[in-house]
Chains A and B, each alone.
Chain A
Amino acid sequence: MLWYKGWLETRFRVLFALVVWAYVLISAISRGVAGHAGPKEFLLAPFVIWLLVPIMLAGAGIHTQPAFRAVKGLHGSMLFTLSLPVSRLKLLAVRAGLGWIESASLIVLVCACLWTLFPQLRQAEFIEYVGVLLACMTPIYCITVLLATVLDDIWRLYGSGIAIGLLWALFSKTPFPRSLNIFRAMGVGSPLMAHSVPWGAVALSLSLAAALFFAAVKIVQTREY
């Protein structure tokens, strides 16, 4: 039933993300991939949407979230949730798991549409590209999961933006190895463009995601409400 509760909380966000993607895809179909050298380059353009959707769906940890609005002060029912005979680990894992599945499903769905619409993308590396997107999206998602354990809705969104910005600056503005750059791995370093899987970035993404989720679990288990 926790999955059901999570779905009721996030369904309008999923719908919103679908509408945004539908708009992007319809624009691409009607105007071709105008302004881009080709569909591969077009894929890099809505990069920010790849990042925004997981942030939006990462949810509120074990807080109760309104269906769509990001407003403060609607979390009284969290005490009702915490009175249920369920461990805090399970509460967090189900909510975070659901948001990840929704984000991943959207990525797979959008990629499947692009693959169908643009024959130029039907190359061997496309599956790898989707896999890399899923892996590299996960730490971005987990940043929001972690922040949700300590921040309310609107601050969680701001916090996520700042944290991701800092992460991007770390990768881009410092002498950080390019092979580990998770943002590059979703763009010019992706299998579609570089024709090889950026294993370093994938490994770093998954390790970072695990560490962030572990930290979120520890906070939720020790936090007072």
Chain B
Amino acid sequence: MTDFIIEVSELTKSFKSQPALRGLNLKVPAGSIFGFLGRNGAGKTTTLKALMGLLRPDSGSARVFGIPVADADRSAELRRRIGFVTEDKELYPYMTVEQIIRFTRPFFPKWRDDLEQRYLKTFELPLKRKIPDLSKGMRSKLMLLLAIARGADLLILDEPTDGLDPAATEDVLRELVAIAASQQTTIFFSSHQLSEVELIADHIGIIDHGRMIVSGELDDMKARYQRLQIVFAGETRTPAHWVEGVENVRREGRTVSILASRNVDAIVEQARALPGASVERFPVTLKEIFLEHVRDN
């Protein structure tokens, strides 16, 4: 049986009667790197804040390490085990790198001096520099260091590579994979950068309009999803009812393009039975899966 670090069930949250989460369901397996995808305003940050206990859901339940996030008495215990990197990457403007590390360390009994030293070196963070004098990339790295060195069992990262240059992005992604592998840390991160997610995530979830529309193992998803291209010699035809598993159908001239999520063989058979049809199968990228789902939704 899989252990889930995060379990969210039918979570709803509205802001001034504007729904942000509409019955969100989410399960993040222990030890996974879970990429949480969605358009702007889809509900990603609201979900992350709800998991951190910064927002109170209107209904539904959310548990992290089996502890309800709404349980105020155990909230501090939860946060001791979570490293959180915020979207804005803001830290105290009156502290230096050294001061904020010294400030953060005592809150976490499992603080890892070895990781602190390692990431200070890896990320080339200048100890004496004031936080406002750091670039956004440097601040992102510093936040990651503060999240990682606390010995967290779970990292919740909101757009961790936002604002980073390609080299810094590469550094951060590489280190995230290393942390997940070596520290058995579960990583739950939101991102717009589909190529990055595809590179490091082993599980993904796509949220749109406050609902999870796709979730699962990335490899499994990429194996299941295929694009079928049907080219007709004459007039294009489609059956009255496709076999279950067709996510999207698009026509262009004499070509019909289908995104299939399951029963691919049966769909191919059905397509081949159409008069004058020749069918080709193509693998799909995460970007295609994402775009098809959010467009449809």
Chain B 92-125 per-residue mask, 1 if CB under 8 angstroms from chain A, else 0? 1111000100111011100000000000000000
Q: How many residues of A contact B (CB 8 A)?
A: 24
CA distance A225 to B50 in the complex (A): 10
Q: How many residues of B contact A (CB 8 A)?
A: 32
Asked whether any CB of chain A lies closer than 8 Å to the CB of B192, the reply is: no
For residues 53 through 92 of chain A, which have their beta carbon under 8 Å from a beta carbon of chain B? 64, 66-67, 74-77, 79-80, 82-87
User: Given A76-B88, A80-B90, A83-B84, are A224 and B76 also a contact pair (CB < 8 Å)?
Assistant: no
A1 to chain B: closest CB distance in Å? 5
Asked whether any CB of chain B lies closer than 8 Å to the CB of A102, the reply is: no
A83 to chain B: closest CB distance in Å? 4
Asked whether any CB of chain A lies closer than 8 Å to the CB of B72, the reply is: yes
For residues 162 through 201 of chain B, which have their beta carbon under 8 Å from a beta carbon of chain A? none
CA distance A225 to B94 in the complex (A): 22
Asked whether any CB of chain A lies closer than 8 Å to the CB of B262, the reply is: no
Max chain A CB contacts within 10 Å: which of B84, B93, B95, B104? B93
Task: Find out whether the CB atom of B54 lies under 8 angstroms from the CB atom of A77.
Answer: no
| Interface majority SS (helix, strand, loop, mixed), chain A | loop
CB closest chain-B residue, reference A84: B107
Task: Find out whether the CB atom of A82 lies under 8 angstroms from the CB atom of B52.
Answer: yes
Task: Find out whether the CB atom of B55 lies under 8 angstroms from the CB atom of A85.
Answer: no
Number of A-B contacts (CB under 8 A): 74
CA distance A54 to B219 in the complex (A): 60
Task: Find out whether the CB atom of B94 lies under 8 angstroms from the CB atom of A9.
Answer: yes
For residues 105 through 151 of chain B, which have their beta carbon under 8 Å from a beta carbon of chain A? 106-108, 143, 146
Task: Find out whether the CB atom of A77 lies under 8 angstroms from the CB atom of B76.
Answer: no
Task: Find out whether the CB atom of B79 lies under 8 angstroms from the CB atom of A85.
Answer: yes
Max chain B CB contacts within 10 Å: which of A4, A9, A67, A85? A85
Task: Find out whether the CB atom of A82 lies under 8 angstroms from the CB atom of B107.
Answer: no
Asked whether any CB of chain A lies closer than 8 Å to the CB of B80, the reply is: yes
Enumerate chain A residues within 8 angstroms of B103, measured Cβ to Cβ.
1, 4-5
Offer 29 A-B interface pairs, CB within 8 angstroms, sorted by A: A1-B102, A1-B106, A1-B107, A4-B103, A5-B92, A5-B103, A8-B95, A64-B90, A64-B92, A64-B93, A76-B89, A76-B90, A77-B90, A79-B86, A80-B84, A80-B92, A80-B143, A82-B52, A83-B52, A83-B79, A83-B84, A83-B86, A84-B107, A86-B76, A87-B75, A221-B72, A225-B49, A225-B54, A225-B55
9 smallest CB-CB distances across A and B, nearest first, come from A76-B90, A85-B80, A83-B84, A76-B88, A85-B76, A85-B79, A77-B90, A79-B86, A67-B94
